[in-house]
Amino acid sequence: MQTRRLGRTGPEVSAIGLGAMGMSDMYGPADRAESLATIDAAVEAGVTLIDTGDFYGMGHNEMLIGEALRRHDRDKLVLSVKFGAQRGPDGMWIGYDTRPSAVKTALAYTLKRLDVDHIDIYRPARLDPNVPIEDTVGAIADMVQAGYVRHIGLSEVGSETIRRAAAVHPIVDLQIEYSLISRGIEDGILGTLRELGIGVTAYGVLARGLIGGHMTAPGGGRDIRGFSPRFQGEALTTNLALTEALRSAAAGMGLTPAQAAIAWVAAQGDDIVPLVGARRRDRLAEALGAMERPLSADALAALERAVPKGAAVGDRYPTAMMGTLDSERG
């Protein structure tokens, strides 16, 4: 497994990370035994970066990972945790809380659920409009000083917020959606990160399965894709046509659409680590195959011709959620 460093001051991690959200939440039912087996397979394959959030399944995801950790050397792994998103008993989103006291309380619960004595990268899930980012980062910095956190990250914030946060404490990475069909980071944020020496952990590299080559329509129930503009009506039809164009281009490279999409993100810079949301071993194996050989400049250009920047129809989140993304303000 190749490795990459997260920013100038961050840890060295596997060149691809495992995003565990889908094992507990957001994409409909998951198989617990298969989820645990997938975490095991990822670690055994050399994946060291595991990403979660305390609101994924309202603690379920952390407990699941904590169970898997008992079979592995925790000190060889890098645990990345998001906090601050608030949900009600019905699972609906009700806001954010990143006050200093909330930071420390959330961290205490996370340490208990994961059954570890520290978190490698701790980050607010979104910018809390009621709390200055300096206060939130300052509280995490207190936890770094106390030994409960090793590094500080950010998630879905724009350039101004990144600069303000970095003035308080070194930031190792920004977690943000980045894929062939979600390239907003290129319009300013990526330049800011590189100026400041901050890495990227890219989620949504398959656009929630849209360009992974295995999907025809979103599931029902608690599958968040059922509420996403990109998965609705004519937008879905148009976007799945992009997937077929990607499939054709990828086939000429000996890759599946998912592998091509992951490899494209990984090729955008050594400071970028794709997170794959595999919740089955076969999907994990497919994703890992994306890292077996680098794409040539011609191959990258072919993928971008197949899926041109801005070609996707529909926002990446529902309108109300788009309004909460500081990253959308540049």
Please report which residue ranges of 75-231 form alpha helices under DSSP H. Answer: 100-114, 133-146, 159-166, 189-196
Q: Quote the DSSP letter at residue 161.
A: H
| Active site (annotated) includes residue 317 | no
Q: Quick one: tokens of 187?
A: 């319009």
Q: How far from 227 is each of 22, 241, 317, CA to CA, in Å?
A: 16, 20, 8
Angle at which helices 257-266 and 233-251 cross, to 10°: 80
Nearest-angstrom CA–CA distance, 269 and 32: 34
User: Per DSSP, which regions of the chain are E strands?
Assistant: 3-5, 12-14, 17-19, 49-53, 78-83, 85-87, 93-96, 119-124, 149-155, 171-177, 199-203, 272-276
Nearest-angstrom CA–CA distance, 170 and 184: 24
With left for phi above 0 and alpha for psi between -120 and 50, is residue 58 left, alpha or beta? left
Nearest-angstrom CA–CA distance, 105 and 70: 24
Q: Which of 56, 96, 203, 317 is flagged as catalytic? A: 56
Task: Note whether 119 and 150 are within 8 A (CB).
Answer: yes
Closest among 201, 315, 174 to 268, alpha carbons compared:
201
Biggest alpha carbon–alpha carbon distance for the chain: 54
Q: Active-site positions?
A: 56
